[in-house]
Copies of this chain bind each other. A is one copy, B any other.
């Protein structure tokens, strides 16, 4: 059979640490690769078609000079970037996996793949203790009973972002009804899950984001007080609506400092990301000058990585899908159509242009 186009997005060149990735230089869309869909599969292999891809902030950290240590193994230069996605199996020579199965997990950003995809696998040695081998987040079968919710939910509420919000709040929030939570990046995949879970738990929710449209969205999913931090003062807003018992930090920097200034006694800070800092060299970052409040306020600041908590996934997949199906948790994805718009989708995580959770629709049938 004639070769079929297999466009892909490649990690072409490591950026200077603390700089934004440049499209066409660090990450490159390649239109021309092809694949023979009739090729013979070895035993244990299966061929998948990519349906949806989920750009997520942690991927930025993996696209680095491989010699720099970090919390996850790096991506491989010259190979397609890898992230969570939804695929469908076309043919299989692997036991237990058959044509028509839907699978979720790490998959390369390309149209078709012979799985398991071993191209970018980093040999997991020489990394510091606690480094997570990202490539072990292998494809798993996914259920979607009766089509109760759109497949794209697996790239938002039911994917890593939703799971991260769930785990952070459940494990480290110690949330009590009537308390106040502040969520930064409240319109993001993680933030929007935290807002909605917090409302279900009876909390008052303050949420921030970087555009008026996002503020509207955060209000629509239940935030009691929502504000655009580019237009109003973090300090003023938190003073008006606080004090804050729990701060769910997706941002770091000035947000963290303002939250600490407005924490209540025995306040908790849950940190799962510092999106304000990924692309800024250290010397230019905002220095936090109020850590001395930690002891008079008896604060507890806790950082976590979702990869330590994968064991909670069964509970997550038992509790959240019903809430989603019943409309108690609402999801909003920002759809980017076609792999050729994948880089824009990824960059939107950092330039503030993503409205809710960006999802790359590779197969248009799965857009709705």
**Does residue A130 face the partner (Cβ distance < 8 Å to B)?**
yes
Q: Closest CB of chain B to A152's CB: distance in Å?
A: 26
Closest to A302 in B: B300
The answer to whether A289 touches B289, judged by C-beta atoms less than 8 angstroms apart, is: no
Cβ proximity bits A287-314 to B, threshold 8 Å, 1 near / 0 not: 1111111111111111111001000000
Asked whether A296 and B265 contact (CB < 8 A) given A274-B291, A285-B289, A289-B286, the answer is: no
Report the bound CA distance from A6 to B287 in whole Å. Answer: 49
Complex contact A274–B287 (CB within 8 A): no
Total identical chains:
2
> Which residues does chain B contribute within 8 Å of A292, judged by CB atoms?
252, 274, 277, 285
Residue of chain B at shortest CB distance from A264: B129
The reply to whether B252 and A298 contact each other, CB–CB distance below 8 Å, is no
Whether A244 sits at the interface, judged by CB under 8 Å, is no
What 0/1 pattern do residues 121 to 152 of A give for CB contact below 8 A with B? 00000001110000000000000000000000
Contact: B130 with A291, CB < 8 Å? no
Please name the residue on chain B nearest to A270 by beta carbon: B295
- CB proximity of A265 to chain B, nearest CB, Å: 4
Contacts of A283 in B (CB 8 A): 289
Please, what's the 1-or-0 string for A58-81, where 1 marks a CB less than 8 Å from any CB in chain B? Answer: 000100000000110000000000
Query: 6 closest A-B pairs (Cβ-Cβ)?
Result: A287-B287, A294-B303, A71-B296, A130-B265, A295-B303, A274-B292
Please list 29 pairs of residues, one from A and one from B, whose beta carbons are closer than 8 Å in the complex, sorted by A's number. A61-B296, A71-B295, A71-B296, A71-B297, A128-B265, A129-B265, A130-B266, A130-B296, A130-B297, A271-B291, A271-B294, A273-B295, A274-B292, A282-B289, A282-B290, A285-B292, A286-B289, A287-B287, A288-B288, A294-B301, A294-B303, A295-B303, A296-B305, A298-B305, A299-B301, A299-B302, A299-B303, A300-B301, A300-B302
